[in-house]
Amino acid sequence: MAGPTKIEVKDVVVVKEPPRTCCWFIWLSLFTLVLLIIIPVITWYAIHQDCYKVATNDVCGHGTMVYINTTLFYCECHACYTFADDGRCNYEKKYYALAAVLQTMPLPGIFGAGYAYIGQWTFFTFQCILTCLMTLPLIGLCKTTGEPDGQVVQTLMFAILLGGASFLWWLVSWCLFWSNYYVDGNGIALYKK
C-alpha cells in the first residue's frame, strides 16, 4: 500500500460571482418603493386638479355667492371644500380615493396610513399597535435555535393569531375605505368625485 500522494497546485485563481438572488431582490425593492411613492402621488394629483381651479373670494373663500335678492346672499361651497369655523368655504375635504389607496397598499396599509391621512388617530393607533404586536413574537422566534419546544410553538401560534387579526382588520378597513364609510378627524365627509 502506497502512502499519501502530494499534489501541487500553482497559480489557481478562484473567481466568485456575487449571488444572483440579491439582484432580483434589489429590483423588487426599488419597484415597490417607486409604487409606494408614485401611486399615491398620481392619485392625489388626479383628484386635486379640479380643486385648484376654484377661485377664491373674500366673502365665501372657495365658494360662490348665491344671491337671494339684491342684498341677501349665501355661500355655496365648491365640492372639495366645506365651511370652516369662520363661516367661509376654507376647509379642504380629505380625498376618499387617496385614503383608500393608502389603506389598500400592503406596506403603508397594514400600519394604517389611510387612517393617518384622514385624521382618525384612534384607528391608526390601534392598527399600528396590532401590527407591531404581530412582529414581536416573530423577532423572538428568530433568536431561538435548536428543536422547537412548547414555548416556541406557543409563540408561533400567538404570532399567527395576531397576524390573522391584523390581516383581517386590514381587509375590513380596506373594504370600508373603498365604500367611503369613514369621515375625517373633524367629522367631515370625505370628498368623492
d(CA 69, CA 180): 37
- Mean pLDDT, rounded, for 77-104: 85
State yes or no: pLDDT of 191 exceeds 70: yes
Q: Which domain holds residue 84?
A: 56-92
Query: Which of 92, 116, 148 delimits the end of a domain?
Result: 92
Terminal C-alpha separation, the chain: 91
DSSP at 65 = E
Q: Give the residue with greater pLDDT, 28 vs 72.
A: 72
Q: Give the residue with greater pLDDT, 83 vs 162.
A: 83
Does 84 share its domain with 116? no
Predicted confidence at residue 157, as pLDDT, reads: 78
State yes or no: pLDDT of 72 exceeds 70: yes
> By the 8 A CB rule, do 74 and 169 touch?
no
| Domain annotation covers residue 83 | yes
Does 179 share its domain with 100? yes
Domain count for the chain:
2
- Mean pLDDT, rounded, for 159-163: 79
Does 106 share its domain with 126? yes
Residue with cell 373633524: 186
| DSSP-based three-state secondary structure for 185 | coil
Query: Which of 67, 92, 117 delimits the end of a domain?
Result: 92
State yes or no: pLDDT of 18 exceeds 60: no
Query: Which of 66, 92, 118 delimits the end of a domain?
Result: 92
The separation between CA 11 and the C-alpha centre of its own chain, rounded to angstroms, equals 56
| DSSP-based three-state secondary structure for 91 | strand
> By the 8 A CB rule, do 102 and 117 touch?
yes
